Structure 1
Amino acid sequence: MTKDAATQEAQTGIKERRESGEFVRGVSGLRHSIGDPEFPPEAGRYHLFVALNCPWCHRVTLARSILGLQDSITMDVAFPNRTNEDDPEGPNLWEFAPDRVASLTREPLPECTGETGTGKELRLTRDIYREEGSSEQSVPILYDKLAKRIVNNESADILRMLNRHARALGGTPSDPGLLPDDTRKRDEIDALNERIYVTINNGAYKAGFSSDQEIYENAFHAYFETLSFLDELLSDGRLFLTGNDFTEADLRLFPTLYRHDPVYYVRMKLNGAHIYDYPNLWCWVCRVYALDGVAQSGSLIHCRQGYFGRSWNGVIPAGPIKPMQYPNAYMQLEEP
């Protein structure tokens, strides 16, 4: 693993790896920081472009809520499916389309918005990048409304800068925030972040989108080995991964496990077990979901629409319904 293994995937031999059937995630190219001279930490200055089905965006919307930044950092939400083949601008582009009808609900999704961050009412994230001279298209995007520039499009970077400057940005973080000052605890969080990113966050995509059987099976087994490791870690009665404080490690794990039972079990071929088969992890998911702002930071309707709506036939599974419909299942915390 590289020193950046908790943030991005190694890009060595990327062409050959993709040709062999491996899913290889690209690297985000815009990596400025709030706190740089041109991007001072100021309340009301910054904006997020996200899609609620995207787990990397979910990290950022969680941080925005946990740190109390909902009122001081504005946000636009893209439709969970990208553009179709018949779109005049081409297929597979993130778009801001508040009137687009979701096949799952047969109506527009109320969380979806138009584009308000640039002041130009752009429809596509691609066009936001073009204003910057970039050919990228991804979300999340952290945007400076005053400078009219993209600050950063790497979710791991955005988490840290929002946490570091939360109070100056107008937030109300609880102490010690997502990253404590204690060096030993930070090292513990960094080690968890690395394993969680490689085997869980990115590992789910290795399993779901790689087309080689051996690569899929290696990702599958690594994913469930880490679930067992985390379930055992939580077996001593601690509330969160490193103790009784919610930290960045918890935040980075949650978006994937939130999606596992209702989406990834089927869509990513991760059908080894449900999260409710791991009693300590199940309680942990329910515990995190109950934190202020967490339920409002994501949407399983967007997740189901986004993942299954792009599958070969576009049909979205109606379940699961056991232990009950999701996300209601996450509201039924019973300690083991």
Structure 2
Amino acid sequence: MDADFRDLLDKFTALGGIADNVYQRVGQYGRGVFPIDSSRMAKIMTPKNLFVNVDNLCLDGDHVVIKDGSCYTAKEIAFLELYWNNYSWGNGGNNDSFSFLKFIELLQEPIKKQLLANGFVDATLLSYRVDNDSLLKRFVSERCVKFEDQIVIAPVWEFVNHSSFAAPLRITPCGVETPPMEPSCEEILLKYSVENSPMSMWMKYGFACECIVAYSIPFNINIGDQALAIRCAGRFALDSKEKTSFSVDGDVLSIKLLPVGCLSNALPRENFKSILSSVGLSADVASSLFAKIREVNIQARRDLIDSLQESGFGEKDQLYKALMYEIELIENSPID
């Protein structure tokens, strides 16, 4: 094991962390975390004493520092700032954030408008200036978790790479930990976001990956003979307090998020049928509308790909791939 990495883990465990049976090496997803002994379980647990509220971080020159250290010991502050500046922010993390924001900034205005209109980015992202404050905000947003109603950033677990087909990070009263996995020699992976699609992962993390579901872009449909309007917000996820993905107010059916593609091929169609049945629309009407919604979604993504002109490389390639992953999911979900 790399001596610097071993030293970091020793400091981490001395402060209450767990880094059992793990080491770093390059794998399928780049540098990742693997079990040392394939016959034993591997585990990383970051304790809550090493959590820092995202608003309690700032830059001092090029270095990340804690604004208010009154809740931490001197050793905890020293470890956290060493970690961010030598292994995270200061080890390529800030460069990744810079590359993503610079790519967004330099996009042609028509592409920005397409991304915004389709709900693939929000206005805040398009308005970022590529300065240190924006870089730190982006860096933190890619790594934060919710813990006890606070948005916090925590060290070490972020070494673990993402897979949409892995279990999510476990939130416990003690802290956050990697999901349990049977002993093996395979890379330790976790799902960064429970509800994710290729485009939502691209927007939040800057990389493209295969996912389980693709969500619809915003749309408005007026059904004249039914005196009904269907409005889709085109969201990627529900808030934690929201219990349902749709609501009815008078003659308006509002859908917050709508799957239009899924590895479970029939799910998008059946979900849409179920929503429309709640307002008395037949399965035939739902199938007809879903076919149109599906085509609109495919075309919107193809139009963006045409605007990009080619896959390119780096950040452009990641956006191109995310769009292609979504088209594949949608095309593989039948309309009847």
| Shorter-chain TM-score range | under 0.3
Q: TM-score, normalised by structure 1?
A: 0.27
- Whose Rg is larger? 2
Query: Bigger relative contact order, structure 1 or 2, given CA contacts below 8 A and separation 6+?
Result: 1
